[in-house]
Structure formats: structure tokens, C-alpha cells
């Protein structure tokens, strides 16, 4: 783990779970898997505090435990998973686009709590949706349930590993920690529950309703103390599936920008058909016949079968190898090659990434970079000639990129004694090294952004608190029907310059937050690229 | 071998390889040697690309900020226990109880966790003098006072009916899991302008003036 990753993990833990959890997570990340008592020693925290922190971390799948042969339990932090905290908004937003508000809230609840039983998740979401509805209306459980089932069917959520059945007649003492496990085939099976009910509002506006409401809750509370019907069956968000979705989206938009809307729709259809049959990490989708594809095209697309075949042929012929032809049965079978579209030998990930990343260095550097990618190895002189950049400038750019590890020098000796005067020095791009360097930079960027944001908030703490107090006073005054003049007087408690300061703060914090989201997108692209390149045989 | 290199390129830094190959011609001035670490904030040569705007970006921004706020309020945000007070105070009865180290504020499924992690789950019982409702909130003056009044209100209700007690116990259990706190709705339940109530606790470390202000 690099320092940059460690620092970012620390900041994320601290922001979402507080300093105690951060200290524990940090210790595990830096010194590796440890048992409880060593952890207490390392962190300097109280035993109970460490226990609580571990419970939280395990609940959120950020730490795993393992029983050692000697009987002690060791805890290990999952650094990659901790970094995913940054991506939560994207997961939630995606769920919204695919499954609407119930989908969005279900994914949000599962992320906020780490894992939940279905009954609990459905109840919470129904309550939340009810809050947003008009007076008197409530959200029925069935709609939320059916969205839950759809999320499970498309593998966006999955079941957590379960506690093994303990044999009744065992004489041995129970193990220090359960060995949780789940079979692949059970991971998406929704238990047969009949969840009946409606969402409840937390507070009602008039007393009468409140009275009824309380009575109703009493009855329902009676039920909640019993074990729920799906006791022991927990669900969590399947992050990998979301990642697959993001990759698919990127692929489709790459096809759209390279060819046209219709071809991107064809690819999108193919990907949709293969959603659950493609193992994560697979290099291609399962072969799909052109007949099947034709039948699965979305309703709005009235292209003839022959036109579809032409499109498929075009896609298969494209040097970027998005789609490959795998056979002739059923009118021709095709696959979408996922891996090679992410790690094509001659292309840096996601063609639009180059200008983005090299914006820092300038468009001429970008030109040199692309040139080196295409030509693999070039001498100094050749770079100047091909890129049509004057020598001095070219040299300067190459050295700068060299010092940042974006390009490297390759020695090709002409003679066995490697004499410098008789050796070729060629510039080349080591794609993996460059990608890793950029990724490292991204981690650093996000950490810097977070620290700056926290600094801004701290600097303005007094003013923020004052502003919140004034808001509260205003709200209560409005509720009790104060006059405009009185309200105005209270508003005046915040002076003009203070208002300006608050606005600036808000603008800056928004900008920083938006930037963090943006950098996470780049992190995703780079991580996917590195992962898929490493998988390539 | 190294001796062969000496004497060449006199008057300029000597390298182990032929610098002409990388384009440093004879007589070219090399940049001056770096004698200090690079500046903390190097000059920005180019302005950064503007952030993409749009509905998606806006929504995700709002989501991010909302998530941050929500997570601070959840029991998973572990706070250190409050330090012990020097003397027991009258107002302690009406203070919202602060987090304690030796209790966990939510109820994990202990079957799924190593046994050594088990810790007492905080459960508030009715009839105890220490009051109810430990919803973790970022300590803001007004929040504290509202909580105080809320808990007092609850205490009243507790006294009035048996049934209500039952409900409250459940309510606490539930409230521990609730994340959002809609202040406006709360305030509608009382006659008092809650935010005006300030017992002066926040002002200084020792403030014994509570006795005078009425506690309803």
C-alpha cells in the first residue's frame, strides 16, 4: 500500500466513522493483520473503544476476521474496500437511474448500515418514502419489496455469508468466531417473505393523527420484538456489479462516440443480455446469436435484421475490438470483449483520458505521449521530427515527463560493453507504470481535497454555528407566526460581510466535493485498466 | 573503466553516459542545480479544466453531502465517552446522556462476530433517573436544549400513562436507529420557543445558574 492510499483511507474513515474507528483502521492498515490485544496496545485506545470500532468496521465489510490455528482471532483491514467509501454517491445515483426512488433508498440504506435483513430494509425505505409523500398517503411495502427483488435478480445486491448451523450435540466449546460462508448459487436468492405493511411517518402534523399513529405503532411494536421472518439472512450491496455497470456504460459511450448512436445501442443490448451470465472478471460475454440480439433490441429501435447484421459486422471489424465474431450459427454469434476494450494493446485506457491527464503538461506533451504510445520506442531526434516540435521544447517536455515517470528511457546497446557513445537511448511509455503513477496522484489529490475542505470548515466553525442558531430561531419564529419585522430583526443578526463569507464557504465546499467525485471517476478508470491488464494472459 | 570517463567534458557535470544521445549538445547550459526542496505550492501553469456541471453532477454532490451528514448521526460514528464530571449536578438529570465507552449504541448480530468483541448494548430502561434518548448529534447549542426539553417532555408523558411507557421504550429502541432529525416537526409539539432556552451551560465550564430558570 502506498502512503497516498493510506492517507486517503485514514481520512475517509475519520470522516465517516470518527477518530476512534480511524485509529483502529489505521493501525490495521499500517501494521497488517493483528489480534485484539495487540491492537489495543498499538492504538492506545481503551479496550471497549477498540471493540466498538471493530464491530463497526466488520459491519461495513471494511475489516475481516480470521481464526488463527492457535485459536486467536486476527483482524485485517480491506484497504480497497475502504477507498470505495468515496464512491457511495455514484452507487446510489446509479440505483436511482435504474430503479427509481425505492431502488435509490434501498441501496443507500444498505450502504449506510453495511448490511441489513430484507424485512428491515424494506420497512425503513417505506418509512422514508412515506415521509416525502403527501399527507395521508403512505408507501406500501409491496412496491419496495418488488424493487428489492429486482435488485437481487440483477445482482446489484447480494446475500451476505451466513453463520453455519451449529450441531446440537457438540461437546466442543463454540469457536471464538463464526466461519461465515455462502454458496454461489444462494447469493441472490430472495427468501419467501410476505412483507405486508405500509410506511409510517415519524411525526404527524395534527394531534389526532398522532394519537392514532401512536396506537398503531404500539401494535406494530409488539411484533418487532419477535424475531423477524428472515432472521439471520442479511443483504449487502454488490459493488463489483456496479463496477461492471460503470464499465459497460463507458464501453457504450466509447462506441457511441466512435461510431454512432445505433451501434452503441446494439452493444448496450448485448451487454444487457449478458448482465448476469458474465462472470465478473471475464474477458468476453457469452456468445450471442444475431437472432437473439435482434429479438432483444429495445422497443423503439426499428432496424431491420439485415441492418443489424451490418452493424454487427462493422463492430466486429473495428480495430478497437469491442465486438468479436465467435461463430456462424443463428445468423452469426458475437461477443463483446470486455477486457480488450479496457486494455487494448495499443491504447491507453479510455481514449479521452489522455487529454484530461496531460492537461497538466500541455497539449504538446499530449502529442508526444500519443506518439510514443503508437510508435513504442523513439529516439530523441525522432520524437522531435515526428511530433513536429522544436528540439528545445521537445527536450524540455520529455525530461519533465521522464521525471514524472510518464515516459522512460530504454537502453539498447550496440556493443557488448554497453559503452555510452555506442548505445541507443530510446524514449518509451511504460503504460502500466504511467497508469500506476497517475493513480497514485489521484489518491493524493483526493486526500488533499478532503483536508482542504475540512480546513475550510474548521476555519469558519464559529460563523457556521452562529448561522445554524439563527436558522433555528427563524424557523421556530415562523412556526409560531412571528411578524415580518421580527423575522427581519433576527435575520440581521448575520451581518452582510458574514453572509458573504458563508456564501464563499458554501461555494468552495461544493467545488471541492464535486472535485472529489470527479477524481473518483478517474480512479475507477485507472484501477479498472490496471486490473484488466494484469489479468490478461 | 571509470578512469576513462575522466577528463572528458571538462568544465561541466560529468555523466556516465553520453549526454549528446539525450540531446544535451556541447556547450548547452544546464539548468542550475537544485539546492532546496521543491516549493510547497508550485506555480500553476495552466488553469484546471472546469468541473462538468449538469444534473448528474449536482445530484451526486447533494448526495455526498447528505451522506456525510447522515453518517455523523448514526451510531456507527463512534465517539469517545464523556469524561467524568467533577461533581454531580442538578442539571445532569436533564442532560442528554453522552456516549459511554463501555456500551455500544446499536445492536449488532453477535452471532456473526467474534465472541471477544461482545460488549454491553446500551438499552435505556424506564424509571431510571438518568434520562432517555441518546441520539448522537453533533453538539450544537440548540440541539442540546431541544433534546433536553424533548426528554423532559417524555418524562412527563411517562408519568401520565402506563401504556405510554411501553411506547417510549420502543421509541428509544427505534430512535437509536433513526438517522434524520427534522427539527421543525419537533418544535411543533411544544408551546415554547425551544431555541431561546439556554441554561448557560455552554458559556463557561462551571455554570450553576440553572436553578433560577424554570424547567418545564
User: What is the DSSP track for A340-374?
Assistant: HHHS-TTS-SSTTHHHHHHTTT-HHHHHHHHHHHH
Q: What percent of chain A has pLDDT over 90?
A: 37
Q: What pLDDT is attached to residue B104?
A: 84
Range of the domain at B185: 150-193
Residue B101 to residue A517, Cβ atoms within 8 A: no
- Does B123 reach chain A within 8 Å, measured CB to CB? no
Instruction: Say which DSSP state A280 is in.
Output: T
3-state secondary structure of B166: helix
Closest CA of chain B from A141, distance in Å: 19
Decide if A192 contacts A175 (C-beta within 8 A): no
Judgement on whether residues A450 and A509 belong to the same structural domain of the protein? yes
Secondary structure of A198-255 in HEC code, one letter for each residue:
ECCCCCCCCHHHHHHHHHHHHHHHHHHCCCCCCCCCEEEECHHHHHHHHHHHHHHHHH
Q: What residues in B contact A18, CB-CB < 8 Å?
A: 77-79
Decide if A409 contacts A401 (C-beta within 8 A): no
Q: What residues in B contact A476, CB-CB < 8 Å?
A: 187, 193-195
Residue numbers of B between 126 and 165 with CB closer than 8 Å to A: 140-142, 163
Closest CA of chain B from A364, distance in Å: 13
Closest CA of chain A from B196, distance in Å: 8
The last residue of one of the domains, among A77, A95, A128, is A77
Decide if B21 contacts A427 (C-beta within 8 A): no
Q: What pLDDT is attached to residue A188?
A: 86
Q: Is residue B202 part of a domain?
A: no
Decide if A37 contacts A72 (C-beta within 8 A): no
The last residue of one of the domains, among A376, A407, A429, is A429
Judgement on whether residues A421 and A447 belong to the same structural domain of the protein? no
Between the alpha carbon of residue A537 and those of residues A227, A251, A340, A343, the distances in Å are 50, 21, 11, 12
Q: Is residue B212 part of a domain?
A: no
Q: Is residue A220 part of a domain?
A: no
Q: What's the rounded Cα separation, in Å, for the pair A40 and A54?
A: 11
Q: What's the rounded Cα separation, in Å, for the pair A114 and B33?
A: 53
**Closest CA relative to residue A254, chosen from A192, A178, A179, A344:** A344
3-state secondary structure of B37: coil
Q: Which residue of A has its CA nearest to B186?
A: A203
Q: What residues in A contact B174, CB-CB < 8 Å?
A: 221
Burial of A94 (0-12, 13-18, 19+ CB in 10 A): buried
Q: Is residue B186 part of a domain?
A: yes
Q: What residues in B contact A20, CB-CB < 8 Å?
A: 78-80
The least confident of A146-155, A310-319, A489-498, B136-145 is B136-145
**Closest CA relative to residue A262, chosen from A286, A293, A231, A217:** A293
Tens of pLDDT along A203-240?
544 333 344 444 444 444 434 445 677 788 899 999 99
Is the per-residue pLDDT at A3 higher than 70? yes
Closest CA of chain A from B155, distance in Å: 17
pTM over 0.95: no
Give Rg (Cα) of chain A: 29
Nearest to A469 among B71, B142, B189 (CB): B142
Q: What share of chain A is helix, strand, coil (3-state, %, to 5)?
A: 60, 10, 30
Q: Is residue A384 part of a domain?
A: yes
Decide if A54 contacts A75 (C-beta within 8 A): yes
Residue A516 to residue B64, Cβ atoms within 8 A: yes
Q: What residues in A contact B140, CB-CB < 8 Å?
A: 465, 468-469
Judgement on whether residues A61 and A116 belong to the same structural domain of the protein? no
Going A200 to A201 to A206 to A207, the CA torsion angle's sign is positive
Q: Is residue A207 part of a domain?
A: no
Is the per-residue pLDDT at A258 higher than 60? yes
Q: Is residue A151 part of a domain?
A: yes
Cβ atoms within 10 A of the Cβ of A122, count?
27
Judgement on whether residues A59 and A129 belong to the same structural domain of the protein? no
Residue B67 to residue A46, Cβ atoms within 8 A: no
Q: What pLDDT is attached to residue B139?
A: 43
Place of cell 452503441: A264
Beta strand pairing call for B103-104 and B120-121:
parallel
The last residue of one of the domains, among A302, A320, A341, is A341
3-state secondary structure of B77: coil
Q: Which residue of A has its CA nearest to B163?
A: A218
* pLDDT mean across residues, chain B: 64
Range of the domain at A454: 440-533
Judgement on whether residues A62 and A91 belong to the same structural domain of the protein? no
Closest CA of chain B from A289, distance in Å: 35
Q: Total structural domains in chain A? A: 5
Residue A178 to residue B112, Cβ atoms within 8 A: yes
Closest CA of chain A from B153, distance in Å: 15
- Does A468 reach chain B within 8 Å, measured CB to CB? yes
Q: What's the rounded Cα separation, in Å, for the pair A16 and A9?
A: 11
Ordered strands of the A73-77 beta sheet:
A34-35, A73-77, A63-67
Q: What residues in A contact B195, CB-CB < 8 Å?
A: 469, 472-473, 476
Q: What's the rounded Cα separation, in Å, for the pair A453 and A458?
A: 9
pLDDT in tens, chain B (216 residues): 455 545 554 555 566 665 655 555 555 566 677 778 877 777 777 777 778 788 999 999 999 999 999 999 999 998 887 776 677 777 766 666 667 777 888 888 888 888 888 888 876 543 344 444 444 444 445 566 666 666 666 665 544 444 444 444 444 434 443 433 444 444 444 555 555 555 555 544 444 444 444 544
Q: Is residue B135 part of a domain?
A: no
CA of residue A438 relative to chain centroid, distance: 18
Decide if A33 contacts A74 (C-beta within 8 A): yes
Closest CA of chain A from B92, distance in Å: 23
Q: Tell which of A52, A165, A234, A389 to mutate to test the B interface (max B CBs under 10 Å).
A: A52
Q: Is residue B103 part of a domain?
A: yes
- Per-residue pLDDT band at A20 (split at 50, 70, 90): very high
- Does A189 reach chain B within 8 Å, measured CB to CB? no
Q: Total structural domains in chain B? A: 2
Going A442 to A89 to A244 to A55, the CA torsion angle's sign is positive
The CATH number given to whatever domain includes residue A38 is 1.10.10.10
Q: What share of chain B is helix, strand, coil (3-state, %, to 5)?
A: 40, 0, 60
Angle between helices A484-491 and A461-479 (to 10 degrees): 170
What residues contact A104, with CB distance under 8 A and at least 6 apart?
A: A92, A93, A95, A96
Residues across chain A = 537
Amino acid at each position: 500500500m502506498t502512503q497516498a492510499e493510506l492517507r486517503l483511507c485514514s481520512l475517509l474513515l475519520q470522516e465517516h466513522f470518527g477518530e476512534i474507528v480511524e485509529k483502529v483502521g489505521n493501525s490495521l492498515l499500517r501494521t497488517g493483520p493483528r489480534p485484539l490485544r495487540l491492537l489495543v496496545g498499538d492504538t492506545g485506545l481503551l479496550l471497549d473503544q477498540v471493540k466498538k470500532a471493530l464491530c463497526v468496521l466488520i459491519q461495513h465489510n471494511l475489516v475481516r476476521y480470521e481464526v488463527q490455528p492457535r485459536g486467536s482471532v486476527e483482524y485485517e483491514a480491506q484497504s480497497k474496500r475502504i477507498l470505495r467509501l468515496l464512491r457511495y454517491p455514484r452507487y446510489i445515483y446509479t440505483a436511482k437511474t435504474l430503479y427509481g426512488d425505492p431502488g435509490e433508498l434501498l441501496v443507500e440504506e444498505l450502504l449506510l448500515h453495511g448490511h441489513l435483513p430484507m424485512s428491515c430494509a424494506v420497512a425503513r425505505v417505506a418509512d422514508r418514502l412515506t415521509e416525502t409523500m403527501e399527507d395521508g398517503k403512505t408507501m406500501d411495502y409491496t412496491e419496495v419489496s418488488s424493487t428489492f427483488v429486482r435488485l437481487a435478480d440483477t445482482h446489484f445486491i447480494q446475500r451476505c455469508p451466513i453463520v453455519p448451523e451449529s450441531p446440537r450435540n457438540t461437546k466442543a466449546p463454540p469457536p471464538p468466531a463464526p466461519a461465515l460462508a455462502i454458496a454461489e448459487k444462494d447469493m441472490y436468492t430472495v427468501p419467501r417473505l410476505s412483507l405486508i405493511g405500509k410506511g409510517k411517518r415519524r411525526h404527524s402534523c395534527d394531534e389526532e393523527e398522532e394519537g392514532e399513529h401512536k396506537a398503531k405503532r404500539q401494535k406494530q411494536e409488539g411484533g418487532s420484538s419477535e424475531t423477524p421472518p428472515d432472521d439471520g439472512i442479511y443483504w449487502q450491496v454488490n459493488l463489483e456489479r456496479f463496477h461492471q455497470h460503470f464499465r459497460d456504460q463507458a464501453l457504450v459511450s466509447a462506441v457511441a462516440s466512435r461510431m454512432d448512436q445505433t451501434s452503441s445501442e446494439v452493444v448496450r443490448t448485448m451487454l444487457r443480455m449478458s448482465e448476469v451470465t458474465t462472470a465478473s472478471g471475464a474477458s468476453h460475454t457469452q456468445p450471442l446469436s444475431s437472432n437473439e440480439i435482434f429479438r432483444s433490441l429495445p422497443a423503439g429501435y426499428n432496424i431491420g435484421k439485415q441492418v443489424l447484421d451490418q452493424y454487427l459486422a462493422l463492430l466486429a471489424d473495428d480495430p478497437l475490438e469491442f465486438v468479436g465474431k465467435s461463430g456462424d450459427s443463428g445468423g452469426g454469434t458475437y461477443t463483446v470483449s470486455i477486457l480488450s476494450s479496457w486494455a487494448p494493446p495499443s491504447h491507453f485506457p479510455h481514449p479521452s483520458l489522455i487529454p484530461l491527464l496531460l492537461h497538466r503538461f500541455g497539449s504538446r506533451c499530449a502529442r508526444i505521449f500519443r506518439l510514443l504510445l503508437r510508435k513504442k520506442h523513439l529516439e530523441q531526434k525522432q520524437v522531435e521530427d515526428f511530433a513536429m516540435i522544436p528540439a528545445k521544447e521537445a527536450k524540455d517536455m520529455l525530461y519533465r515527463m521522464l521525471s514524472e515517470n510518464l515516459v522512460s528511457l530504454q537502453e539498447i546497446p550496440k556493443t557488448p560493453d554497453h559503452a555510452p557513445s555506442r548505445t541507443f537511448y530510446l524514449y518509451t511509455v511504460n503504460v502500466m507504470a504511467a497508469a500506476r503513477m497517475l493513480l497514485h496522484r489521484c489518491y493524493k489529490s483526493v486526500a488533499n481535497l478532503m483536508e482542504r475542505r475540512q480546513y475550510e470548515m474548521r476555519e469558519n466553525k464559529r460563523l457556521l454555528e452562529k448561522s445554524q442558531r439563527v436558522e433555528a430561531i427563524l424557523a421556530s419564529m415562523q412556526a409560531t407566526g412571528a411578524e415580518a419585522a421580527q423575522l427581519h430583526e433576527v435575520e440581521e443578526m448575520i451581518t452582510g460581510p458574514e453572509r458573504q463569507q458563508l456564501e464563499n464557504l458554501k461555494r468552495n465546499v461544493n467545488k471541492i466535493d464535486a472535485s472529489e467525485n470527479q477524481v473518483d471517476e478517474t480512479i475507477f478508470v485507472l484501477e479498472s485498466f490496471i486490473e484488466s491488464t494484469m489479468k490478461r494472459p | 573503466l571509470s578512469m576513462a570517463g575522466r577528463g572528458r567534458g571538462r568544465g561541466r557535470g560529468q555523466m556516465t553516459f553520453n549526454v549528446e544521445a539525450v540531446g544535451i549538445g556541447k556547450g548547452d547550459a544546464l539548468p542550475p542545480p537544485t539546492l532546496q526542496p521543491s516549493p510547497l505550492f508550485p506555480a500553476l501553469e495552466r488553469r484546471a479544466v472546469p468541473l462538468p456541471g449538469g444534473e448528474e453532477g449536482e445530484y451526486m454532490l447533494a448526495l455526498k453531502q447528505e451522506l456525510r451528514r447522515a453518517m455523523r448521526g448514526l451510531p456507527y460514528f463512534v465517539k469517545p465517552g464523556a469524561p467524568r464530571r467533577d461533581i454531580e449536578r442538578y442539571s445532569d438529570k436533564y442532560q442528554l446522556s453522552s456516549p459511554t465507552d463501555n456500551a455500544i449504541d446499536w445492536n449488532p448480530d453477535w452471532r456473526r462476530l467474534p465472541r471477544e468483541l461482545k460488549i454491553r448494548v446500551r438499552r435505556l430502561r424506564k424509571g431510571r433517573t438518568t434520562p432517555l434518548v441518546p441520539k448522537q448529534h453533533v453538539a450544537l447549542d440548540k440541539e442540546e436544549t431541544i433534546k433536553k426539553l424533548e426528554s423532559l417532555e417524555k418524562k412527563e408523558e411517562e408519568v401520565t400513562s402506563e401504556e405510554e411507557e411501553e411506547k417510549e421504550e420502543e421509541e428509544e429502541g427505534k430512535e437509536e436507529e433513526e438517522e434524520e432529525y427534522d427539527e421543525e416537526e419537533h418544535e411543533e409539539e411544544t408551546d415554547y420557543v425551544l431555541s431561546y432556552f439556554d441554561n448557560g451551560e455552554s458559556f463557561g465550564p462551571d455554570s450553576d445558574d440553572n436553578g433560577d430558570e424554570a424547567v418545564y
